[in-house]
A and B are shown apart, each in its own frame.
Chain A
Amino acid sequence: AQSVTQLGSHVSVSEGALVLLRCNYSSSVPPYLFWYVQYPNQGLQLLLKYTSAATLVKGINGFEAEFKKSETSFHLTKPSAHMRDAAEYFCAVSGGTDKLIFGTGTRLQVFP
């Protein structure tokens, strides 16, 4: 069985500050891991994914995430936040089956 836990339902940062959104996973098989972003009243857009290749994964909009098996973590980071990054972010895991198991989400607020 697979699950993800997102620590912190809300994160607030100033524009230009580091963004760190935390995700820990549980999986009985080697996991595929994903980060999605959701803007208000929109569907989900894939930011990046880990599929057992490089442990540091670079995604769109300047985001990246590092897979750490020893810590069962896949935290999302961005060196410098922009106002347009304000949205809901979801971590998800897939165990090689086709469905995605999502976390409860982290709402990112960016202050000027």
Chain B
Amino acid sequence: DTGVSQDPRHKITKRGQNVTFRCDPISEHNRLYWYRQTLGQGPEFLTYFQNEAQLEKSRLLSDRFSAERPKGSFSTLEIQRTEQGDSAMYLCASSFGQGQAFFGQGTRLTVV
């Protein structure tokens, strides 16, 4: 499969725990994006990378959130001390330059 891959697809965690999600972009894509989608809403931009450099972060990305893209390949999104309000679908997308963004199937996080 040559699409954007996200792991895990589903995660249930207790409030206060840390979670980490992984995104593997399409191999030749240099840009990688993270979005968050809550129920009944459209996706909201969180952050994006060009190669390994994190170029923009939304104010939605509180200090409990951190994203990395070591070596410009896969990316991880970590949420520390999870809160119930963090429950959402986390979507990853990749593109080559400003070309079409391809989305993964998302990781659904439930904080109980």
Q: Which residues of A contact B (CB under 8 A)?
A: 9, 36, 41-46, 49, 90, 92, 97-105
Contact = CB atoms under 8 A, between A and B. Distances in A.
B103 interface: yes
Contact of B100 (A42, A49, A103, A104): A49
B106 A104 contact: no
A99 B33 contact: yes
- Chain B contact residues (Cβ within 8 angstroms of A): what range? 20 to 34
Contact of A102 (B43, B95, B104, B108): B43
A9 B98 CA distance: 29
Nearest to A43: B103
Chain B interface SS verdict (over half): strand
Q: Which 4 A-B pairs have the closest CB atoms?
A: A102-B42, A43-B103, A99-B45, A44-B103
Contacts of A44: 43, 91, 93, 103
B48 A90 contact: no
B23 to A, nearest CB: 11
A98 B31 contact: yes
B79 interface: no
B91 A98 contact: no
A46 B99 CA distance: 12
Nearest to A6: B42
Nearest to B104: A43
B71 to A, nearest CB: 20
Contacts of A42: 105-106
Contacts of A104: 40-42
